[in-house]
């Protein structure tokens, strides 16, 4: 019997596609992971400024409830909720997920494993464009007859399920919201599929799993989390859409009267939505923050000129967090009528998950301890990340306990907590990654002077904005209200004013970042191949890398990523992974 030679072994040396020559194939419908990474980052940049402007309007109304907001006039409570919903949705999905995970992951991961592209470049392109469509649908909801949805980024049923009786924006706006998130899930699933297959199958010779750089490890683990989480949110969105457009009753109970109208539904379970949503929603927090963990663990040793302390412990902690992230979703639902026994069952793993997170923080501090730090902007943002993550994490200890959460859950304490631990920390990770990889992406250095000003003002700004929220929360100031003009909370108004001014200030400071980005892109100093004296493979190629990443060379990896602060060749204090 003749044996047929199999041709299925994909040789990573063979590029899946030729360099494109048309503008459309090169920059729009590109299959190149580097272009797709930049597209994701560009989308996140547009999204973050949109989300920030929405937050300015919210803060303006909270600080100055009687003043007319530019462009909107006097903001109504319904408009406030629409601003809040869109701010949360845009920031969580289209910034905190797309930038650190899909954006940097797409650009850097294939190069760091020594591949010439992702495992499935077409899926990769689809992943971005589906995400783009999701964003376009969400933006379109601003132009729906009664505006966008107002049910919060968590879209709790039955408010999100019953349609336009539930308020302005709950008609077409909420339907568009649900479709947008459905598409977003598809995009991220395609992305996760690529990240996992690329990491497992396209590693270059010598790149064992143990030699993967820490950010690639974190993107890989984030992909696994995302794969499970988005696979659950997607069915939830399908059922929500059917409740809204097809008259089913998955989430709408019988006998529900909204706006004086009896809803024609029976027997649905609003809590079912909460369970499905938070089974996705809590792991989503880690989808936003774990890439930051990886980015910090990769960048910090480079500027400390010391190896990362306890790399194996770091990986074990990452994996532990991934597992535990699926056991804690109920802590978002302590106030949903949950039995104290269930609440305890969710509270305990919530407290336990702080252990690996705290260990990782200690590893970073141990890495920095005794180091002669190079205070680049990227390094400063890493240190800032540790600071805001610890600040946000500490308030999490309180909220993890059902008895304390009962008091604090609906207050600004929670707003302060999650903005620090998830929002600002992830943003600092994004900033650190931007200042670190910008030279690789565009072949030009960013302005370090502007970068440092950006860092210091941002750090001051975020503390001035979110720290006072903890005090507001302890004082019983309820969140989600549009204003507190004449009730027991009106005494908090001066604090709200302070926060508003701080938020406007912090937002304005981001223009420095934008100017730096644009100016450096066109007029920055030319970047050498390895400006930071780092070890991973992306620094073994030109800045920016050629189309196939390594100019036809097949790198052979001989070292781990952690060989920094050692006696290297030519008197250097580091050894590249592939010399």
Partner 1 sequence: MSSVSATPARTGVWVGIGAISMSFAAYTSALVVRAGDSPDWTHVQLPWIVYANTLTLVASSITFEIGRRRLSGPYESRASGVSYLNLTLALGLVFLFGQVLAWRTLAAQGLFLATNPNSSFFYVLTAVHALHLLGGLAAIGYVVHRARLAAFPSPGPVSTGAVGAVALYWHFMDILWLYLLVVLTIWL
Which stretches of the chain bind partner 1, using CB under 8 A?
1-2, 4-12, 119-120, 189, 192-193, 196-198, 200-208, 227-228, 230-232, 234-236, 238-239, 242, 246-250, 253-254, 266-269, 271-272, 275-276, 279
* CB of 230 vs partner 1, minimal distance in Å: 8
Residue 158 beta carbon to partner 1: minimum distance, rounded to whole angstroms:
14
Closer of 13 and 464 to partner 1 (Cβ): 13
Q: How far is the CB of 500 from partner 1 (least distance, A)?
A: 40
Using only C-alpha atoms, the chain has a radius of gyration, in whole angstroms, of 24
The least CB distance from residue 316 to partner 1, in Å, is 22
For residue 82, what are its two tokens?
């629409």
- Minimum distance from residue 276 beta carbon to partner 1 (Å): 6
Task: Name residues whose C-beta falls within 8 Å of residue 21's C-beta, 6 or more positions apart in sequence.
Answer: none
Q: Which is nearer to partner 1, 250 or 466 (CB)?
A: 250
Nearer to partner 1, 345 or 359 (CB): 345
Nearer to partner 1, 209 or 348 (CB): 209
Distance in Å, CB of 394 to partner 1, minimum: 33
Report residue 89: phi and psi, to 5°.
Answer: -65, -45
Q: Which is nearer to partner 1, 104 or 230 (CB)?
A: 230
Token code pair at residue 80: 């406030």
In order, the DSSP letters of 198-222 are: HHHH-PPTT--GGGS-HHHHHHHHH
The CA distances from residue 261 to 169, 246, 264, in Å, are 17, 18, 9
* Peptide bond just before 158 cis, omega within 30 deg: yes
| Nearest residue (CB) to partner 1, 48 versus 190 | 190
Choice between 268 and 461, CB closer to partner 1: 268
Q: Report how far residue 418's alpha carbon sits from residue 52's, in angstroms, rounded to the nearest whole number.
A: 16
The CB-of-66 to partner 1 minimum distance in angstroms stands at: 45
Contact 143, 82 (CB under 8 A): no
Instruction: Give the nearest distance from C-beta 264 to partner 1 in angstroms.
Output: 9
Helix (H) or strand (E) holding 257: strand 257-258
Q: E strands, 11-86, where?
A: none
**331-362 residues labelled b (16+ CB within 10 A) or e (exposed):** bbbbeeebeeeebeebbebbeebbebbeebbe
At 139 the three-state DSSP class reads helix
Torsion of CA 235, 239, 240, 242, to 10 degrees: 140
Place of tokens 């049923």: 157
Element containing residue 262 per DSSP (H, E):
strand 261-262
Bridge partners of 526, per DSSP, are 444
DSSP state of 482: S
By C-beta, is 236 or 527 nearer to partner 1? 236
HEC assignment per residue over 328-361? CHHHHCCCCCCCHHHHHHHHHHHHHHHHHHHHHH
Q: Toward partner 1, which CB reaches closer, 186 or 351?
A: 186
Q: Shortest approach of partner 1 to residue 275 CB, angstroms?
A: 7
Residues contacting 73, CB < 8 A, separation 6+: none
Which C-beta is closer to partner 1: that of 7 or that of 22?
7
For partner 1, the closer of residues 48 and 315 by Cβ is: 315
Question: Rounded to the nearest whole angstrom, what is the least distance from the CB of residue 194 to partner 1 in the complex?
Answer: 8
Measured from the CB atom, the residue of 79 and 204 that comes closer to partner 1 is 204
Q: Give the residue with the Cβ less far from partner 1, 41 or 134.
A: 134
- Is 271:336 a contact under the CB 8 Å cutoff? yes
What span, in angstroms and rounded, lies between the C-alpha atoms of 305 and 568? 12
Element (H, E) at 567: none
Q: Which of 82, 76, 51, 53 is nearest to 147 (CA)?
A: 82
In angstroms, give the least distance from the CB of 190 to partner 1.
10
CB 266, min distance to partner 1, A: 5
At 201, give phi and psi (nearest 5°): -110, -20
Give the residue from 358, 368, 353, 390 showing the smallest Cα distance to 297: 368
Closest approach, Cβ 246 to partner 1, in A, equals: 5
């Amino acid at each position: 019997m003749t044996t047929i030679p199999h041709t299925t072994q994909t040789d990573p040396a063979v590029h899946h596609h030729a360099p494109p020559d048309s503008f459309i194939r090169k920059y729009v419908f590109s299959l190149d992971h580097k272009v797709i990474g930049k597209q994701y980052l560009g989308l996140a940049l547009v999204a973050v400024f949109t989300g920030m402007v929405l937050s300015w309007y919210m803060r303006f109304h909270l600080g100055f409830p009687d003043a007319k907001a530019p462009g909107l006039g006097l903001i109504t409570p319904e408009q406030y909720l629409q601003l809040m919903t869109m701010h949360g949705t845009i920031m969580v999905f289209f910034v905190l997920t797309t930038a650190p995970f899909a954006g940097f992951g797409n650009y850097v991961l294939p190069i760091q494993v020594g591949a010439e592209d992702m495992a499935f470049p077409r899926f990769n392109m689809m992943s971005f464009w589906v995400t783009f469509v999701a964003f376009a649908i969400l933006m379109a909801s601003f132009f729906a007859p009664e505006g966008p949805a107002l049910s919060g980024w968590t879209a709790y049923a039955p408010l999100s399920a019953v349609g336009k009786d539930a308020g302005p924006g709950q008609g077409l706006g909420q339907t568009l919201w649900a479709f947008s998130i459905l598409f977003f899930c598809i995009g991220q699933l395609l992305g996760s599929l690529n990240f996992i297959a690329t990491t497992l199958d396209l590693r270059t010779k010598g790149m064992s799993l143990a030699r993967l750089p820490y950010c690639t490890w974190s993107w890989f683990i984030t992909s696994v989390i995302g794969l499970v989480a988005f696979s659950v949110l997607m069915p939830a969105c399908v059922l929500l859409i059917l409740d809204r457009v097809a008259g089913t009753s998955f989430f709408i109970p019988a006998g529900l009267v909204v706006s004086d109208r009896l809803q024609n539904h029976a027997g649905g379970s609003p809590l079912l939505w909460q369970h499905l949503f938070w089974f996705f929603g809590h792991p989503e927090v880690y989808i936003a923050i774990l890439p930051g963990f990886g980015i910090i663990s990769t960048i910090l040793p480079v500027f400390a000129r010391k190896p990362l302390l306890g790399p194996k412990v770091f990986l074990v902690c990452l994996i532990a967090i991934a597992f535990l992230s699926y056991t804690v979703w109920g802590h978002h639902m302590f106030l949903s009528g949950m039995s104290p026994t269930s609440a305890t069952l969710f509270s305990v793993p919530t407290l336990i998950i702080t252990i690996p997170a705290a260990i990782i923080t200690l590893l970073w501090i141990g890495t920095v301890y005794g180091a002669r730090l190079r205070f680049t902007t990227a390094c400063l943002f890493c240190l800032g990340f540790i600071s805001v993550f610890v600040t946000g994490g500490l308030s999490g200890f309180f909220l993890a306990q059902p008895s304390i959460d009962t008091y604090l859950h609906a207050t600004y304490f929670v707003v302060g907590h999650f903005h620090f631990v998830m929002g600002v920390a992830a943003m600092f990770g994004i900033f650190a990654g931007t200042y670190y990889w910008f030279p690789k992406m565009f072949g030009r250095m960013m302005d370090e002077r502007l970068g440092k000003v950006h860092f210091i003002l941002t750090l001051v700004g975020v503390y001035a904005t979110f720290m006072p929220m903890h005090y507001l929360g302890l004082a019983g100031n309820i969140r989600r209200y549009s204003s507190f003009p004449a009730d027991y909370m009106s005494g908090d108004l001066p604090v709200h004013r302070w926060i508003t001014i701080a938020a406007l200030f912090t937002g304005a400071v981001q223009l420095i970042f934008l100017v730096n980005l644009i100016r450096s892109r066109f007029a920055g100093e030319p970047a050498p191949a390895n400006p930071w004296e780092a070890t991973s493979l992306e620094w073994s190629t030109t800045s920016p890398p050629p189309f196939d990443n390594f100019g036809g060379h097949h790198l052979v990896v001989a070292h781990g990523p952690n060989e920094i602060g050692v006696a290297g060749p030519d008197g250097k204090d580091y050894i590249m992974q592939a010399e």
